[in-house]
Each structure stands twice: as structure tokens, then as C-alpha cells.
Amino acid sequence: MKSEHRSLLAIALSTGVLILWFTVIAPPPRPGTETVAAPAPAETSIPEVIAPSPVVAPPAPVFNAPQDDPQGKIALETSTLQNDLVTLKITSDGAVVTSWSLKNYTANGESAAAVEMVQDNGRFLETPLDASLGVPERPRYKLVRASNEEAVYVWQGSQIQLTKTIRLQPNQYVADVTLQVENRSHQAMEVKPGLTMQTPVKIPKAAGGFLSALKPKSNEGNKAVYYLAGKTERRPSQELAGKSQVFSGNLYWAGMEDRYFLAAILPRVQSEGTSVEYRSHDHSMNTTVGLAKTMIAPAASTQFHFSVFAGPKDIEHLKAVGLRLDEAIDYGWFSFVAVPILHLLKFFYRVVPNYGLAIILLTVFIKLLMQPLTKKSMKSMKAMQVLQPRMKELQAKYKNDRMRLNQEMANLFRAHKVNPASGCLPMLAQFPIYIALWKVLWNAIELYHAPFFGFYHDLSAPDPYFITPIILGLFMFAQQKMTPTASMDPAQAKAMLIMPVMFSAFMLFLPVGLVVYILVNTAMTVIQQGMYNKGLRMRDVLRGKFTPVTS
């Protein structure tokens, strides 16, 4: 019986301890947080990284390090970092960046205001730590050293000292952030460091009316973007609105992007313990990249390293940062074609320092490069047009015998050495190139507020007077009239004539730089079709000879 009493007493005590733990001692879970674990990462080559570096605690500093300052008695201090590309303003209230402005980009084409990567009253590059360590939510730091390139802030509590260094890299849109945590207690200390940036949330507006429905939504709003487990992931802002999501695993970088600009945090340690949390607050998004938990021995300190990119999605600057940051530019499936096309665009810009003219030269170059395939496609369509009367006779003769009709059609094509698919295959071969060119011009930061001529002050904006879409529609109509329609019945041919109107309507709100490419490409197709119909060869026309040849 005594044994049973002891067992019941042990169960009661254990239950009481568990209730006490979960109701009083254990920290409450964070509400509304969805955690998504990444799949096992693919085997990739990881660039050189900086591991957390334990260091021996230095002697007490000669300056008076600030203590926790709930009354706000310690004066606020600010510092400014700048290079040729960006200007950063930092406050000692949390040692956060309050302004990150881009010197070479304006908010709109007519205003002199620089593009600002930090929203109004925002807090950029916070270093949150667990409250149990005695660190307040907004520690008031002491500025101990500052220059144009670097600012060092220190905060000291009763058991812990934080040293936060923000260093701006020369000629880059990158700042390196180092947080040194010194354990001044007599016990080992567990820390899980992180870096947070607050950015505005831009959610696409609902379309209203017919013309608004034509506006492409992908150029409005922004997205969460991160490189995890060997691939780039994107989440629209509206998907994250009003909630929190955590993605963990082998994280290379994480941030927020729109079509032309990116703000991203890069942990300089890649491990399975790294994570990113996106937490939405009204019109802002907090992106926190957290590192794995680290134990710090008494009287020792450890440094944690991050890099931060905030600037244009320029492929050269992104590649210079490393850690696959250049994959933040979305080139779609044909990125292996898009990147060389972008380099070609920049080459033509060096020849003629106007991106509108560079787009025209690039389009002409690619069109001439594709001339053999285009000619083969046109030749096949014309051959099919010649056989059209005989094809109609066979269709009428064998309309009730599908198998015999297919056999006779095959014999007809074989006798005249015509392959019906040869008209489509050359077009399919050109498809990846034209899609890649489309993606390059859609995402190119080079076109952001780039002037063309006259009232075209911004190649990244729609045509303000719809002139280029209307001209494009006229060329497409001419192309439809000139293209052989061997296999089309009259009703289908008439339906195809509606396509130029629909396509022009779709072009109304696309960037004028993209419309210029489609316009020049269509105009050259019309010219090529006209030359082929008249028996003119491209090389003869380029030499000034317009004598038809028989083939």
C-alpha cells in the first residue's frame, strides 16, 4: 500500500510540476507563426563564409558604456555613412539605419528625390536578442567611433555587452553588420542572433474598368524573395499580409523585392539552423534572418556576421556580392539565354548611349541572326499555299475516309518535298530567344527612367500617348494580310485579323522599351515577308540590289 501511495504522490507531484512549467515558467509561443522547413538542400558549392568567431573578452573599455536607459536620459547620437552610390543614416536608438538612399536613382523621372530603401519612420538592421538576456527592445547605444565608411555602437547591460559595427563597402550597395556579444555573467549564455529589416509592403490594387484590367499586375506591388535549399523562392506580399511565416534550412539570403530594387540580408554562415521570418505589420514587412543558437562561455564573446544589400537589381552588383544573389533577377526558364542578351544590350548601349536605340539595334541583330530560320519557315508556308488547291480536292474526295485522306496528303507532301511541320519548327526554335529577350527588357534596371527621345522620358513606363502600341497594331495587321494562310478556312482567317487589335490593347500599359522591341521585331518580320514574296534576298537588299531571283 505504501508503494501505491508513493506512486500516486509521484504522479501528483509530476503533474503539478508540468502545470507550473507550462503556465508560469515556459515562455508563451508566438501566435500566428507558420514555420516551413526547407527540403534537404541539393549538393552545391558554398562560397567562403565567416563562421561565428569566439574571442576572448577584452578589458573593460575606457569610455562609459551606456546602461539600459528606460527614461531616455542618454542623448541620441547619429552618424552618416556614404560612398559613391548610397548614403546611410544611423541612430543610436537601437543602432539602426533610418535612411538608406540611392544616389543614382530618383523616385520618379521628374523629381530629384533619391530612391529610399527604408520606409518613413522605419527601422532597418535591428539586431533582436531574447529578452531573457536583459536586452531591451530598443537599447540606447553609445556611438564610440564613426567615419564615412564605418560606425561602431556599444550597449552594456548588467550581464551582457553588445558591440554593433556597420561598415559600408566602397562602390557597392552593401553594408557589413557585425554584432559582438560579450558574456559578462558567471554562467554560459545561449544566444540566437538575428538581423531585421523593415520595408514597405506594396500590394497590387484591384483592377477597375476595362483598361485597368489590361494593366499587368506583375509590375505592381512587391514580393518576399529568398534563396533556400538551392533555389530561389518568391511569395507575393498579399500572401503574407496579416500573418507571419518562417522558412528554415540552408539559407543563402532573404529579403523583399519589386521589379527593379532589392533589399536582402545575407547571413555569412550557411547552416540548417538558419531561418528567415516574414512578419507583416499594416503597411510594412519585418524580415528577420536568424542564425543558429550559440553558447557563449562566461567572460568570453562571439561575433556574428551579416551582409546587407539594398539597391538596384543590377546583375553586376549582385554577382559581386556572391551567395547566388544574382538569382534575385527573374529571367524565367531561359536564363541561360537571357544573361547573354543582357550583355549584348549593354554592348549596344556603349556603341550608342541611348537604351532606346540600343534596344532597336539588339532587336535588328537578333532578327538578322534568326534570318535563316525565318526564311525556312516562310518558304514552307508558301509551298503549302501552292498546294492548297490540291489539298482541298483531296479533302472533298476523301471526306468520309479519314485514313485514306491522311495517306493521300502524305503522298502529296512527299511528291512535292514539303514538310508541313517545317513552317512551325523554325518558329519554335526562336521561341526561347524571344521569351528571354522579353524577360530581359521587362526586368532591366537599365531602362529605369532611361530616356529615349522626345516625350519618351522613361523606357520603363507605358507609352503616355499609346502611339507605339497603335503603330504596332498596324504592322501586325499588315503581317496578317501578307502571311500565307494555306490551312485556314475563311472564317478562321477573319478571326485572325482581330488579333492585332487585341495585341495592341495588351501593349497599352507595358513599358515602352518592351513595346519598342516588339514593334521593331514585327516591322522587320513584315519587311522580310515582303522581300520573300517579291523574291528578294536579304544579302542583295543590304547591298542595294533589288532584282528578284528565282529559287
pLDDT for residue 485: 58
Predicted local confidence at residue 64, as pLDDT: 44
The residues facing 276 across adjacent strands are: 247, 289
221 compared with 299, residue with greater pLDDT: 299
pLDDT band at 458 (very low <50, low <70, confident <90, very high): very high
Average confidence (pLDDT) over 76-93: 96
| Average pLDDT of the segment spanning 112-123 | 83
Per-residue pLDDT of 502-543, as tens digits, reads 888 988 888 999 999 999 999 998 888 888 777 777 676 666
pLDDT digits (tens, 9 = 90+) for 269-278: 878 889 999 9
Instruction: Find out whether 147 and 197 touch, Cβ atoms under 8 Å.
Output: no
What is the rounded average pLDDT of the residues 352-366?
95
- The grid cell for 498 is 482581330
Q: In whole angstroms, give the CA distance from residue 284 to residue 358.
A: 38
Helix (H) or strand (E) run with residue 357 in it: helix 355-369
Domains, the chain, in order of start with CATH, read: 76-327 (2.70.98.90), 336-542 (no CATH)
pLDDT tens digits, 444-455: 999 999 999 888
Tens-place pLDDT, residues 134-191: 899 889 999 999 999 999 999 999 899 999 999 999 999 999 999 999 999 999 999 9
Q: Residues 6 or more apart from 265 whose CB is under 8 A from it?
A: 195, 197, 253, 254, 255, 276, 287, 289, 306, 307, 308
What whole-number distance in Å separates Cα of residue 403 and Cα of residue 417? Answer: 21
Residues 6+ apart with CB under 8 A from 489: none
How sure is the predictor about 376, in pLDDT bands with cuts at 50, 70 and 90? confident
Q: Identify which has the larger pLDDT, 21 or 293.
A: 293
Query: For residues 536 and 10, what is the distance between their CA atoms, to the nearest angstrom?
Result: 100
Strand (E) or helix (H) holding 261: strand 261-267
Beta bridge partners of 290: 194, 275
In whole angstroms, give the CA distance from residue 494 to residue 488. Answer: 10
Q: CA 10 to CA 13: how far, in whole Å?
A: 5
The pTM assigned to this predicted structure is: 0.79
pLDDT digits (tens, 9 = 90+) for 289-308: 999 999 999 999 999 999 99
